Structure 1
Amino acid sequence: MNTRSFAIRLLLAAALVLAGLVFAYPLLFMFTASFKPADAIFANIANPAALLPDAHWSLVNYRNVFDKSAVGRYLLNSTAIALITIVAGVFVNSALAFAIAKLKWRGRHGVLALVLALLIVPMDVLAIPMMLVVAHLPWFDVQQGGLVFGWLDTLHVQIMPFVANAFCVFLFHQAFKDLPDELIEAARMDGAGAMTIYLRIVLPLCKPTVATASIVIFLGMWNQYLWPVMTVQTGGARPVMVGLQQFFGRTNQWGEIMAYASLITLPVLVFFLVIQKHFVRSVVGSGIKG
């Protein structure tokens, strides 16, 4: 490696580190502020030393968050909603994409066109009609031991309408379309059916796409606000974002607000770190294909 090449790589590494610090600073400030009293948060905000632990740090803000709100329950609700939607959504969306991309049947191009058309329809347009529908749908209530009508104030009302995702269908369709047809035909010659090909061959080959779809679904469900506000009125099924808005009305202490924000941000970071390897592969693969 010559001197010029080494200097270019060094400058590139320095630029990446600087960009990383710029993007990470707001998160670092939020986490550090969550351990400080209100008067100490903005005292030396321009000093990078404000991010380092000092004598002001304590867990008081986190204790106050749990005392003033049911954040633990909200975190559990949002986690269940997001994870169930991911599992169901990956299966449903990828199955439809596989049927469109690799199975021969009349009308599949029209279905794909309908999926693409749904991409431009905003949630704000669908919210009221969807609420009118779910308010009268039947559901078997285990506690009551019978059939009840209306999904309001439940967890499944925040899950079922969002399992099917037009963007994820399109994402999987593009991934499946690039798989060689010879692979599918070879499996059929060995006696494999469509479901076997989908579950054992096609889906395992598209793990990066599964990771990308999981992130898209997770972020969408974790950040849900409008739909839960419309359909959930009790705290038993309330997600974290609605709980955050209510928490704003109970405190004006920035340390407590930062603590609440940190609690609802950590699961997102952990989830991304768990599947980042496959997500990076998806991004790199898309760049190579382009």
Structure 2
Amino acid sequence: MALVSEQNRGLRLLSRYLVLALVALVFLFPLVFMVVSSFKPDSQLLADTSSFRAFLPVGDISLDNYVAAFKRAPIGQFMLNSIGVTVITVIVSIAICSVAAFSFVFLNWTGRNILLSVILATLIIPFETIAVPLLLIVSRLPWVGMEGIEWGWLNTYRVQIIPWIVDALTIFLFVQYFKDLPRELIEAARVEGASWMSIYRRVVMPLSGPVLATAAILKSLKMYNEQYLWPLIVVQDEAHRPIMVGLGYFFQLDVAWGELMAYLTLISVPVLAFYLLMQRAFIASIASTGVKG
């Protein structure tokens, strides 16, 4: 009986893995098609779409599409712009949002619950509804630079960074995590005469590794994947454009499908690499920052 039970358990486990493998293949098909197509000329790419050859690296395989893609658009500059804007925004956003969450949780001031509710309510507002008013604001804002006062933020890096620094989701993650920290640590630090800023730097943040990882991963993926609509509106020069805006270079006159697939592959590489490197940290941080009912 024990042997039969062990065999049944093994069959159930095998069938479960087979189902999961099939589901994974369904999600991998678009990625496989994109990567394989990036090595084929347009004529072969379009001909192979009618058969399973579209997912196989067969036929006239070369790196010509990648070479042509780099000639058509300044991919290196776009990639540096996207990564730089993403990194700076994530670092500054986490610093400011964590301080805001600290004040909501540990400081007692009038109206904090109302203000927190208003901030969280902004999560339901789509960006498209505020794009035009935000454009009118940033096109007239002053900026004090090395050459004096400048009027308008268009065609700059700051217009792609500053509007996205304060994030309601990031504040919410820190608020939920800070609420679960032992209050005894805060009270002991206050008894010792520590200031609120010292408590934030020396007590709270050293214990906030999981939520820091969660916030950094979610913010990074959001910033990198959504660098299209807003930069398309506020940035016209190539020197400041992110990589998502570069898609338009491959739809001019006639569509270069092979070059487009190569460009999409290059766009996806940083995201996939980032996800694979941070996968374990992401799962562990999500588990440790779960919202309690």
What TM-score do you get using the length of structure 2 for normalisation?
0.89
Corresponding residue for residue 187 of structure 2: 185
Please tell me whether residue 64 in structure 1 is matched to residue 71 in structure 2: no
Cα 1:288/1:87, change in 2 over 3 Å: closer
Q: Note closer, same or farther for the CA distance 1:80–1:21 as it changes in structure 2 (3 Å cut).
A: same
Compare 218-227 and 146-155 and name the one that shifted more: 218-227
Residue 201 of structure 2 corresponds to 199
Tell me whether 1:78 sits opposite 2:68 in the alignment: no
Q: 2:221 aligns with which of 204, 216, 219?
A: 219
1:210 match: 212
Partner of 1:262: 265
Does 2:173 match 1:171? yes
Partner of 2:36: 32
Distance 1:110 1:172 in 2: 17
Residue 74 of structure 1 and its aligned partner are, at CA, apart by: 1.1
In structure 2, relative to structure 1, the CA distance for the partners of 1:35 and 1:8 (3 Å cut) is same
Deviation at 1:129, TM superposition (A): 1.9
**Residue 8 of structure 1 aligns with which residue?**
12
Moved more, 186-195 or 28-37: 186-195
Q: Could you tell which deviates more after superposition, 196-205 or 219-228?
A: 196-205
Per-residue deviation, 1:55: 5.2
Change over 3 Å in CA distance of 1:156–1:19 after alignment to 2: same
CA RMSD of aligned residues (A): 2.3
Q: Which residue of the partner structure matches residue 240 of structure 2?
A: 237
Q: 1:91 maps to what in 2?
A: 95
Instruction: State the one-letter code of the partner of 1:199.
Output: R
Output one character per residue of 1:32-63: Cα deviation in whole Å (capped at 9) or x when no partner: 11111122224444766654544522110011
- List gaps (5 residues or longer) in structure 2: none
1:283 to 278, 281, 286: 286
- The answer to whether the 8 A contact 2:105-2:178 is kept is yes
More displaced stretch, 103-112 vs 255-264 = 103-112
Question: Aligned with 1:136: secondary structure?
Answer: coil
| Contiguous gaps of at least 5 residues in structure 1 | none
Deviation of the 1:288 alpha carbon: 9.0
Q: Is the 8 A contact 1:64 1:256 kept in 2?
A: yes
1:278 and 1:190, CA in 2 relative to 1: closer, same or farther beyond 3 A? farther
Match of 1:110 among 114, 123, 129: 114
Amino acid in structure 2 at the alignment position of 1:168: T
| CA apart distance, 1:289 | 4.9
Check conservation: 1:92, 1:164, Cα contact below 8 A: yes
Inter-partner Cα distance in structure 1 for 2:114 and 2:285: 27
The question of 1:274 aligning with 2:277 is answered yes
Give secondary structure in 2 for the equivalent of 1:233.
coil
Matched-pair identity in %: 43
**Distance between the aligned counterparts of 1:154 and 1:7, measured in 2?**
59
TM-score by length of 1: 0.89
Distance 1:55 1:199, change over 3 A: farther
Aligned partners of 1:4 and 1:180: how far apart in 2? 46
The offset of 1:277, in angstroms, is 2.0
2:82/2:227 contact within 8 Å kept: no
- Per-residue CA deviations over 1:75-95 (Å, capped at 9, x if unaligned) read 111111111101011111121
* Equivalent pair of 2:97/2:171 in contact (CA under 8 Å): yes
2:145 alignment counterpart: 141
Preserved contact between residue 33 and residue 255 of structure 1 (Cα < 8 Å): yes
Give the conservation status (yes or no) of the 8 Å contact 1:81–1:159.
yes
Letter matched to residue 267 of structure 2 = I
Give, in whole Å, the separation in 2 of the partners of 1:95 and 1:286: 18
Q: Partners of 1:85 and 1:151 in 2: how far apart?
A: 16
- Structure 1 distance, partners of 2:42, 2:7, is 50
How many residues are treated as equivalent by the alignment? 288
Kindly tell me: are residues 167 and 129 of structure 1, through their superposed partners in 2, closer, same or farther at Cα, counting changes over 3 Å?
A: same
